[in-house]
Amino acid sequence: MSDLFDSRFRLQRRSVDDIAINFCIGGQGPPLLLLHGFPQAHVIWHRVAPLLAQQFTLVMPDLRGYGDSARPESDADHAAYSKRAMAADVVHLMQALGFDAFFVCGHDRGGRVAHRLALDWPQMVRQLVLLDISPTRTMYERTNMDFARLYYHWFFLIQPAPLPERLIAADPSFYLRTKLGGWGAKGLDVFDPRAIAEYERCFALPGAVHAMCEDYRASASIDLEHDRTDAGQKIACSLHVVWGERGVVHRVFTPISDWQEKCALPVTGRPLPCGHYIAEELPDALAAELRAFLTV
């Protein structure tokens, strides 16, 4: 167990649909599922979790392909890393833990999993919080020079294997640190060195980079197919969006109106004075947002 989490939290591993999911759990109160993004793992919540442990039972998994969770084989359609498959993992994990309905907060890739979860399993999501994203389809369809330059990895990681995998393998730590440092408001200084060490450890595990590439390849293919098929379906629960005013989403997109197109209810939210990594840059502010919104 990482020393980033105190004794209220415990690390567990559970097989759901033959996929081993690593997760951290702790706290008391109604369940809150926290989903991390790229290129990280459940450790992103280490500063927020202690602030929420008195109000919520926190479940913080490593998404499939990330951290210490399983990395299933993929094929040409990338379905193994679709957001539908990732959402099913965490839904079945929550059910196995005895939670039939729960709050959800997702950052980055985890936010895209959370979006699909809310569409495929609407009866299970009580309220939804998304961090520093606009909808995947919206972001692809509105790609311009600013977005392509600032989020070049969206287009690099989807290239056919093994091109991105082999290029990243030349110096994986350099690539990881460059991505982490490039999206934070203060570079790598916003991260606890122990968290960076954990991200580096997970990034270097066999098959990790390939799995992350497959996540992005799925987003540019099968996930878009699912989104287009479900274009008329709305998120049924209330949604709150938080993003960094020093980040790419704030600069290039309009999160409130972007998400309002996807929702049955009005969308609330606001930017915070930070970059992309809200949970590690402004944990107190994020915890306050979650406590104020997740009230049902």
Q: List phi, psi (to 5°) of 30.
A: -60, 150
* DSSP codes of every residue in 226-245: HHHHTTT--B-SEEEEEEET
User: Catalytic: which of 42, 78, 153, 276?
Assistant: 276
Active site residue 132: no
Q: Which of 62, 68, 108, 258 is catalytic?
A: 108
Token pair for 53: 């442990």
d(CA 276, CA 182) in angstroms, rounded, equals: 9
Side-chain-facing half-sphere of 87: CA atoms under 13 Å: 23
Cα distance between residue 114 and residue 118, in whole Å: 6
- HSE of 195, CA atoms in CB hemisphere, 13 A: 21
* Torsion, Cα of 80, 60, 112, 234 (10° steps): 110
List Cβ neighbours of 286 (8 Å cut-off, separation of 6 or more): 48, 131, 242, 272, 278, 279
Contact of 261 with 233, CB cutoff 8 Å: no
Task: Please say if 276 is a catalytic residue.
Answer: yes
At which residue do the structure tokens 């606009």 appear?
134
Burial category of 249 from C-beta neighbours within 10 Å (exposed 0-12, middle 13-18, buried 19 and up): buried
- Please give the positions annotated as active site: 108, 276
